[in-house]
Amino acid sequence: MSKFECDLTADLLPVYLDGKASPETVAYIQEHIKACPQCRELYDAMAGEIKIPESPVVINKKIRTPKQRMWRFVVIYCLIFAALVVGVSTILIWGI
Protein backbone atom coordinates (compact mmCIF):
# COMPACT_ATOMS: atom_id res chain seq x y z
CA MET A 1 0.00 0.00 0.00
CA SER A 2 1.34 3.43 -0.89
CA LYS A 3 1.32 6.28 1.58
CA PHE A 4 -0.95 8.19 -0.78
CA GLU A 5 -3.56 5.40 -0.72
CA CYS A 6 -3.44 5.24 3.07
CA ASP A 7 -3.73 9.04 3.40
CA LEU A 8 -6.63 9.05 0.97
CA THR A 9 -8.36 6.26 2.94
CA ALA A 10 -7.85 8.13 6.21
CA ASP A 11 -9.35 11.26 4.62
CA LEU A 12 -12.34 9.38 3.25
CA LEU A 13 -13.08 7.23 6.32
CA PRO A 14 -15.27 9.83 8.11
CA VAL A 15 -17.41 10.24 4.97
CA TYR A 16 -17.56 6.47 4.58
CA LEU A 17 -18.60 5.98 8.22
CA ASP A 18 -21.29 8.66 7.87
CA GLY A 19 -22.72 6.64 4.99
CA LYS A 20 -22.29 9.64 2.69
CA ALA A 21 -19.57 8.20 0.45
CA SER A 22 -20.21 7.44 -3.22
CA PRO A 23 -20.44 3.76 -4.26
CA GLU A 24 -16.98 4.05 -5.87
CA THR A 25 -15.48 5.43 -2.65
CA VAL A 26 -17.21 2.71 -0.59
CA ALA A 27 -15.77 0.03 -2.88
CA TYR A 28 -12.29 1.62 -2.75
CA ILE A 29 -12.27 1.87 1.05
CA GLN A 30 -13.60 -1.65 1.61
CA GLU A 31 -10.96 -3.05 -0.73
CA HIS A 32 -8.19 -1.01 0.88
CA ILE A 33 -9.23 -1.90 4.44
CA LYS A 34 -9.19 -5.58 3.54
CA ALA A 35 -5.63 -5.35 2.25
CA CYS A 36 -4.13 -2.78 4.65
CA PRO A 37 -3.91 -3.67 8.38
CA GLN A 38 -2.98 -0.10 9.35
CA CYS A 39 -6.09 1.40 7.76
CA ARG A 40 -8.26 -1.43 9.10
CA GLU A 41 -7.04 -0.54 12.58
CA LEU A 42 -7.86 3.12 11.95
CA TYR A 43 -11.29 2.13 10.63
CA ASP A 44 -11.99 -0.01 13.72
CA ALA A 45 -10.96 2.85 16.00
CA MET A 46 -13.13 5.40 14.18
CA ALA A 47 -16.11 3.03 13.89
CA GLY A 48 -15.81 2.33 17.64
CA GLU A 49 -15.81 6.04 18.47
CA ILE A 50 -18.98 6.65 16.46
CA LYS A 51 -20.86 3.73 18.02
CA ILE A 52 -20.37 4.93 21.62
CA PRO A 53 -23.82 5.97 22.87
CA GLU A 54 -24.34 8.93 25.17
CA SER A 55 -25.88 6.70 27.82
CA PRO A 56 -23.09 7.17 30.43
CA VAL A 57 -24.58 10.60 31.18
CA VAL A 58 -27.99 9.05 31.86
CA ILE A 59 -26.43 6.29 33.97
CA ASN A 60 -24.52 8.87 36.03
CA LYS A 61 -27.75 10.69 36.84
CA LYS A 62 -29.21 7.54 38.38
CA ILE A 63 -26.24 6.97 40.68
CA ARG A 64 -26.86 8.57 44.07
CA THR A 65 -24.15 9.25 46.58
CA PRO A 66 -24.63 7.81 50.09
CA LYS A 67 -25.34 11.37 51.31
CA GLN A 68 -28.17 11.79 48.77
CA ARG A 69 -29.61 8.41 49.80
CA MET A 70 -29.48 9.47 53.46
CA TRP A 71 -31.35 12.72 52.71
CA ARG A 72 -33.95 10.81 50.75
CA PHE A 73 -34.43 8.52 53.75
CA VAL A 74 -34.68 11.50 56.13
CA VAL A 75 -37.32 13.21 53.94
CA ILE A 76 -39.40 10.02 53.67
CA TYR A 77 -39.10 9.43 57.44
CA CYS A 78 -40.20 13.02 58.18
CA LEU A 79 -43.23 12.67 55.89
CA ILE A 80 -44.28 9.44 57.62
CA PHE A 81 -43.79 11.09 61.02
CA ALA A 82 -45.83 14.15 59.93
CA ALA A 83 -48.62 11.86 58.71
CA LEU A 84 -48.60 10.04 62.05
CA VAL A 85 -48.74 13.31 64.00
CA VAL A 86 -51.65 14.56 61.89
CA GLY A 87 -53.41 11.21 62.31
CA VAL A 88 -52.94 11.06 66.07
CA SER A 89 -53.95 14.74 66.49
CA THR A 90 -57.07 14.16 64.45
CA ILE A 91 -58.00 11.18 66.62
CA LEU A 92 -57.34 13.15 69.85
CA ILE A 93 -59.13 16.33 68.71
CA TRP A 94 -62.20 14.60 67.33
CA GLY A 95 -62.14 11.92 70.02
CA ILE A 96 -62.72 9.13 67.57
Site residues, Zn ion (CB under 5 A): 1, 6, 36, 39
| 62 touches 49 (CB < 8 A) | no
User: In angstroms, what is the minimal distance from the CB of 22 to Zn ion?
Assistant: 19
The nearer residue to Zn ion, 44 or 78, going by C-beta atoms, is 44
Q: Is the CB of 14 or the CB of 87 nearer to Zn ion?
A: 14
- Could you give the residue ranges of the DSSP H alpha helices within the chain? 3-17, 23-35, 37-51, 55-62, 66-94
Q: Minimum Å distance from CB 8 to Zn ion?
A: 9
Helix axes 23-35, 3-17, angle to 10 degrees: 120
Q: Which is nearer to Zn ion, 12 or 36 (CB)?
A: 36
Q: Shortest distance, CB of residue 36 to Zn ion, whole angstroms?
A: 3
- How far, in Å, CA of 24 to CA of 31, rounded? 11
